[in-house]
């Protein structure tokens, strides 16, 4: 049945691309996609609705744990609707005792939990030059959630993996689009047996949502999201690395630096595994105009297999660095939120943050270009203008009843700001009389048409 569909679709692809809408393709899509915006925050950056690819907005980097509705989504194929009644996980391949197990029985194994950061291998691809095809992720192809499930090692032990086993292959319930290859990936046995490598059924204390892999997804702490296979239905022990498209061709990274824009011999490429030390500045925003005084610089940082050691902040474009305070403690696989209190004086600044891992590896200042645009971790620069205005009055008078966001959205003229301040003062805003004029000046400089 399915192979017929596949053939049909293949011949359709042969026709003019714009005709790719009709009947069965549409009904197949309707079967496979499910509700498009299930559990997704409206503030997410949408790269694609079908299949679903959503990026976390910058404010997500201020949270120690990423709420599920802000957590990035990367799907090569449509989200399958898995029927739990009929779902089971097959464990086979190079094993003495292949078996199938339902989610209910799987949950009888010892439960484990960890907070882990998952970053898409292609996160930051949109920053590479020359440009590359693929989703143009900026910063938010990453998230940090609390995962709960069982050890992959426990599931493999029951199957009695043969000594010949080198890799473990994972297969999801998703169905390949058109004649594209299935999304299947393998990881080396050593990583598979790591006590923190998990088959997760919960994310942030709730069952996984369909876009995040319901009912079961692989958690490979420290490694790129390409290994965190969703919608698991099959696990196979292999006597070699899997040789399907998503291992052999996609998700590979040059073993040595390469000249930007050149083609690379596949023999010089290895699979993406660990992600690298990286930090993102969530506040202030690029091109912000801020009042002088104490300013909070904050964001999140992580590294892969090697734990994060420190985050430093520079406000002079990388000439001098100061240690930022790490503000979360969710274990070695989690990202760390960080904070730095800056005494901003008037002028133009280039703010940077730099993560360093326990091996002493720090984020680079130059891109390490590679043909698929993976593992971007160049130090981010945020340009800000500090104005000599009375930020303190503004803060005290204007951000007590509401946040700055309601003000930031305004683009008003000076006389409109005069009326606005008068209105707020009638409503209870306390503005010292001798500072009213400079406050209006401040507002009409920062938030103008």
Site residues, ligand HEC (CB under 6 A): 397-398, 400-402, 406-407, 410, 420-421, 424, 427-429, 431, 443
Work out the burial of residue 27: count CB atoms within 10 Å of its CB; fewer than 13 is exposed, 13-18 middle, 19 or more buried: exposed
Closest CA to 167 of 148, 193, 139: 193
Closest CA to 227 of 200, 265, 254: 200
Distances (CA, A) of 308 to 66, 108, 118, 214, 333: 18, 34, 15, 30, 9
Shortest gap between Cβ of 417 and ligand HEC (angstroms)?
Answer: 7
Closest CA to 199 of 238, 155, 159: 155
Q: Which is nearer to ligand HEC, 380 or 391 (CB)?
A: 391
Residues 297, 352: Cα–Cα separation, whole Å: 10
Shortest gap between Cβ of 448 and ligand HEC (angstroms)?
Answer: 13
Q: Which is nearer to ligand HEC, 5 or 401 (CB)?
A: 401
Shortest gap between Cβ of 409 and ligand HEC (angstroms)?
Answer: 8
Q: Which is nearer to ligand HEC, 133 or 428 (CB)?
A: 428
Q: The dihedral of CA 56, 192, 278, 206: what is its sign?
A: positive
Shortest gap between Cβ of 387 and ligand HEC (angstroms)?
Answer: 15
Residues 148, 204: Cα–Cα separation, whole Å: 8
Instruction: Give the pair of three-digit tokens for residue 94.
Output: 């190079």
Q: The dihedral of CA 108, 110, 115, 121: what is its sign?
A: negative
Q: Which is nearer to ligand HEC, 248 or 436 (CB)?
A: 436
Residues 306, 94: Cα–Cα separation, whole Å: 31
Whether 241 contacts 256, CB under 8 Å: no
Q: Which is nearer to ligand HEC, 110 or 428 (CB)?
A: 428
Q: Which is nearer to ligand HEC, 158 or 430 (CB)?
A: 430
Shortest gap between Cβ of 415 and ligand HEC (angstroms)?
Answer: 14
Residues 67, 63: Cα–Cα separation, whole Å: 8
Shortest gap between Cβ of 401 and ligand HEC (angstroms)?
Answer: 3
Shortest gap between Cβ of 434 and ligand HEC (angstroms)?
Answer: 14
Q: Which is nearer to ligand HEC, 303 or 393 (CB)?
A: 393
């Amino acid at each position: 049945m399915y192979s017929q569909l596949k053939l049909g679709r293949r011949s359709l692809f042969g026709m003019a691309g714009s005709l790719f809408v009709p009947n069965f393709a549409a009904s197949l899509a309707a079967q496979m996609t499910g509700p498009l915006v299930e559990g997704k925050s409206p503030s997410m950056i949408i790269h694609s609705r079908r299949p679903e690819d959503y990026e976390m907005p910058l404010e997500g980097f201020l949270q120690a744990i990423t709420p599920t509705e802000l957590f990035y989504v990367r799907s090569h194929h449509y989200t399958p609707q898995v029927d739990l009644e009929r779902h089971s996980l097959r464990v086979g391949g190079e094993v003495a005792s292949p078996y199938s197990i339902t989610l209910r029985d799987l949950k009888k194994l010892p439960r484990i939990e960890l907070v882990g950061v998952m970053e898409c291998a292609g996160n930051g691809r949109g920053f590479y030059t020359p440009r590359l095809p693929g989703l143009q992720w900026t910063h938010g192809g990453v998230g940090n959630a609390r995962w709960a499930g069982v050890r992959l090692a426990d599931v493999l032990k029951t199957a009695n993996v043969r000594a010949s086993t080198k890799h473990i292959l994972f297969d999801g319930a998703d169905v390949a689009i058109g004649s594209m290859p299935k999304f299947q990936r393998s990881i080396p046995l050593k990583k598979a047996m790591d006590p923190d490598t998990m088959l997760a059924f919960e994310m942030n204390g709730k069952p996984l949502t369909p876009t995040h892999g319901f009912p079961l997804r692989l958690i490979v702490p420290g490694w790129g999201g390409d290994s965190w296979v969703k919608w698991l239905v099959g696990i196979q022990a292999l006597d070699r690395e899997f040789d399907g498209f998503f291992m052999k061709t996609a998700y590979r990274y040059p073993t040595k630096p390469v000249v930007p824009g050149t083609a690379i011999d596949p023999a010089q490429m290895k699979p993406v595994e660990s992600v690298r030390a990286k930090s993102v500045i969530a506040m202030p925003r690029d091109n912000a105009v801020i009042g002088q005084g104490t300013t909070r610089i904050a964001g999140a940082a992580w590294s892969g297999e090697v734990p994060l050691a420190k985050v430093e902040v520079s406000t002079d474009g990388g000439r001098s660095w100061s240690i930022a305070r790490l503000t979360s403690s969710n274990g070695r696989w989690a990202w760390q939120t960080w904070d730095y209190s800056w005494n901003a004086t008037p002028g133009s600044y280039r703010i940077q943050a730099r993560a360093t891992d326990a091996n002493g590896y720090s984020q680079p200042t130059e891109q390490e270009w590679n043909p698929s645009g993976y593992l971007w971790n160049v130090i981010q620069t945020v340009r800000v203008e500090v104005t000599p205005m009375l930020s303190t009055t503004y803060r005290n008078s204007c951000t007590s009843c509401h946040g700055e966001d309601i003000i930031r959205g305004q683009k008003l003229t000076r006389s409109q700001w005069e009326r606005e301040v008068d209105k707020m003062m009638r409503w209870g805003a306390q503005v010292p009389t001798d500072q009213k004029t400079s406050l209006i000046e401040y507002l009409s400089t920062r938030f103008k048409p």
